[in-house]
Amino acid sequence: MIAKISSSNTVYGALAYNQNKVDDNHASVIFANKMIEKADGSFDIHTCLQSFEPYLLANKRTEKPVFHVSLNPDPKDKLTNEKLSEIAQEYMEKMGYADQPFIVYKHEDIDRQHIHIVSLRVDEKGKKIDSNFEHRRSMDACRDLEQKYRLNPADPKQRQDGLPLKPINHESGDVKHQIANVIRSVSRDYHFLSLKEYKVLLQIYNVGMEEVRGETKGKQYQGLVYFALDKNGEKAGTPFKSSLFGKNVGIEALEKHIKKSTETIKDKKLKDRSKKIIAAAMRTCKTRAVFEKALQKQGISVLFRINDEGRIYGVTFIDHENKVVLNGSRLGKEFSANKFHELFGEIKEQREEQREQQEPQEEQREQEERQEQEEQQDHQEDEPQEEQEDGQDDDFDYEDQDDDEQEVNPLTPSTPSNSYETTDSNGFFNIFSPSNSTGDEIEEAALTRRMKKKRKKRIK
């Protein structure tokens, strides 16, 4: 079983959150201690406020007097309302709230049943209930209750980190409550230094936020609205005023949180871990996709802001381990948007893709060139003989051509045949040389040479 404790300065927000689910038939009241009931035995926000009012009026020094906890058994644990009521009472007793007014709601709007308990941190005299080592005592109480009621124990990571926060799905309905779960959790647990960084943080959970300003009845106003985002990051559905979710997610509370976060990040040196991991990834990752995966393995989300021209003009990192949100420029010049555009901009990405596509082509081209060189070497071994044969053919063709073009004067006396018995420079007789060589023999020799050349070409 996992317990998540929160504190706030207004009890109305905690009551409204649970009462809205009761009104939507997603929750019900299963137990109440020292709470005023209506005539029909039911509870509403008005009667609950009346129950808490004397304690709040007596409070003088506690800034956040509201105690709100959710107890989350394992989904495999099937518990009746009676068992859940007993677990709630024993938990409050172990935490020191047994004599306080509190009300227990059972929620069934998600895939696991769980309970919410709303109470106060101050007693009827205005004295604060001991909260020292609260989270450690809460974990010990959960372990005791798991053993007593034979519940499935939470694994060590869940005990430390609590329930994982999931992105909302606007198509599944109940968008308002999904948004409430996200914004209340991240505004409480994460450190950020501006509303823009807070907005980026919400985007990874599919929640959008906008600042609104205006004038009504002659007075200036400033506030926030929240809305769901679809898978493309576009606005989906109707925006909700921040006042519907309580003052803790309003602009005044967030500005105070930003001021406090500035001191916390500096004092606890929360930037150091992110800088070290991001710098290492920048040295080794060649593409933006690889860079994002490398950071994700280290528990860091990164969101790049890119304009229509493909230029990276902003980058924000979210360290989920240290619960801190930081724009790249806050980490140093070496982590600025311009630096990441040089590394992972559109042109850089295209070059990487082209290089990946060209590598197989270059390997194939090199292989073809090697094969061609080997063929040329084989060809050169046979080249001298071919040159000789080509020379014979050329001599024959040349002399044959001369013979065809020669004009013979029948009136000229014939010259004795042996006077033409001469050889060319290669030692071959020309076609007129031997008187005993016929033209058929010469043509047969030429044909033989041509056939040899064709045969060699077919073999290659």
- Answering whether pTM is above 0.85, one says no
Q: Which of 188, 252, 259 is nearest to 222 (CA)?
A: 252
Is residue 348 within 8 Å of 298, Cβ to Cβ? no
What is d(CA 269, CA 154) in angstroms, rounded to the nearest whole number? 31
Is residue 71 within 8 Å of 91, Cβ to Cβ? yes
Is residue 115 within 8 Å of 104, Cβ to Cβ? yes
307 to 105, 143, 318, 341, 345: CA distances (angstroms): 47, 51, 21, 11, 11
Class of domain 1-163: alpha beta
Under 8 Å CB-to-CB from 76, ≥6 apart: which residues?
Answer: 152
Strand pairing category for 235-241 and 300-306: unpaired
User: DSSP label at 79?
Assistant: -
Given this model, what pLDDT does residue 414 score? 44
Tens digit of each residue's pLDDT, the chain (460 residues): 889 898 888 899 899 989 988 998 889 999 999 999 998 989 999 999 999 999 999 998 898 999 999 999 988 888 999 999 999 999 999 999 999 999 999 998 766 789 999 999 999 999 999 998 898 899 999 999 999 999 988 765 554 444 457 889 988 877 888 898 899 889 988 999 999 999 999 999 999 999 998 877 777 778 999 999 998 889 998 999 998 888 889 999 999 999 999 999 999 999 999 999 999 999 999 899 999 999 999 999 999 998 888 889 999 999 998 999 999 999 999 999 899 998 887 644 455 555 556 666 666 777 777 777 766 665 555 554 444 444 444 443 433 444 444 444 444 444 444 444 444 444 444 444 444 445 555 666 666 777 777 666 666 5
What is d(CA 153, CA 74) in angstroms, rounded to the nearest whole number? 7
Q: Which of 188, 256, 151, 183 is nearest to 4 (CA)?
A: 188
Given this model, what pLDDT does residue 368 score? 72
Residue-by-residue DSSP string for 140-155? HHHHHHHHHTTPPPPP
Helices (H), 288-345: 288-297, 328-331, 337-344
Packing angle, helices 175-189 and 11-23, rounded to 10: 150
Given this model, what pLDDT does residue 285 score? 92
Given this model, what pLDDT does residue 411 score? 43
Q: Phi and psi at residue 72, in whole multiples of 5°?
A: -120, 95
Sheet holding 324-327, edge to edge: 300-306, 312-319, 324-327
Per-domain residue ranges for the chain?
1-163, 165-268, 269-344, 390-397+418-460
For residue 22, give both structure tokens: 């009761």
What is d(CA 407, CA 458) in angstroms, rounded to the nearest whole number? 40
Placement of tokens 């990164």 in the chain: 302
What is d(CA 118, CA 11) in angstroms, rounded to the nearest whole number? 8
DSSP-derived 3-state class of residue 298:
coil
Give the CA count within 13 Å in the CB-facing half-sphere of 290. 12
Widest pairwise Cα distance in the chain: 155
